[in-house]
Amino acid sequence: MSTSQQTALVTGANKGIGFEAARQLARQGFTVWLGARDEARGEAAVKELGVDGDVRFVGLDVTDEASVRAAAQRIEEETGLDVLVNNAGVAFADGDGRPGEVDLDVLQRTFDVNVHGALRVTQAFLPLIRRSAAGRIVNVSSTLGSLGVVTSPQNPFGQLASFAYPASKTALNAITGWLAVELRDTSVKVNSVCPGSNATDMNSAGAQPASEGAKVVVHAATLPADGPTGSFLDVNGVVPW
Ligand code: NAP
């Protein structure tokens, strides 16, 4: 069932950038499904956002097929879906190693959430998004995943002894590019965004509040019909792949 009101799902929205993106979308009038893997944390977040608009909790662990399927069925029955924000993400402790020595267990656990999880959710919700007049898929990536930046002479990440998280964001960007091509004859837009450096549980050294990073997420979620698809965007414009 679809309503005339625009509906968005944000995964991993009980805190951090996802929480702030959910808030900003609700304030714009979206019905927002706040996805969280933990019911208590999700319901607490929904309670906090109640003043901002119509925000509803949906249980969603992106690594759990049954959880994702159940969420898709419920959202299909109750509202339909226009916007999917693949925000849920993990970054395990720094120091998992450069490619020559990376801990493969850390690599796999990172990919389970950041890549397989995002693709699992995308596949489950794609039939709903295709039915929307203005479907938008936003993959919350990172400039760390940009091979263009990493292989440039000025690479700002040269000292980073961690491969798993950046590689997962490169793979997430591959989903963006390939899916945008798959959907190029539709009105659905698929983009990656980098929210910049935000002070969250994931990034204690973050430079700005998560509410700032959420703005580019919301920008990509609300692109007009002539907006870009298959792009990698940050607050300054286009990020190289
Ligand atoms: P955060 O505060 O740690 O939030 C991460 C969210 O993802 C939490 O809600 C977490 O839920 C959820 N999550 C983790 N595993 C999950 C799973 N299996 N299923 C469902 N949800 C799951 O991190 P953040 O900084 O807001 O990051 C949000 C996104 O922005 C991530 O994709 C991250 O890579 C990206 N990003 C962040 C920065 C930054 O500077 N912070 C920069 C670039 C990109 P729990 O609370 O249950 O753990």
DSSP type of residue 29: T
Residues 50-79 have pLDDT tens digits of: 999 999 999 999 999 999 999 999 999 999
Tell me which residues of the chain have a pLDDT lower than 70. 1-4, 94
Mean of the per-residue pLDDT values of the chain: 96
CATH code, domain carrying 179: 3.40.50.720
Any domain includes 225: yes
| Cα 165 to averaged position of ligand 1 atoms, centre (Å) | 12
Any domain includes 170: yes
Helix (H) or strand (E) holding 68: helix 65-78
pLDDT at 4: 60
Residues 88-122 have pLDDT tens digits of: 999 997 678 999 999 999 999 999 999 999 999 99
Q: Is the CB of 164 inside a 6 Å radius of any atom of ligand 1? A: no
Any domain includes 220: yes
Any domain includes 123: yes
Any domain includes 52: yes
Any domain includes 94: no
- The residue range of the domain holding 223 is 7-89+115-148+166-238
Assigned token pair, 63:
């690594």
Looking at the structure of the chain, the number of domains it has is: 1
The number of helix segments (H) and strand segments (E) in the chain equals 8, 10
pLDDT at 95: 73
CA distance 111 to 33: 24
Any domain includes 120: yes
pLDDT at 32: 98
Of 17, 69, 149, the residue with max ligand 1 atoms within 8 A of its CB, to mutate for a pocket test, comes to 17
- Establish how many alpha carbons lie within 13 A of residue 23's alpha carbon, considering only the half-sphere containing its beta carbon: 18
Whether the model pTM is above 0.95: yes
Any domain includes 144: yes
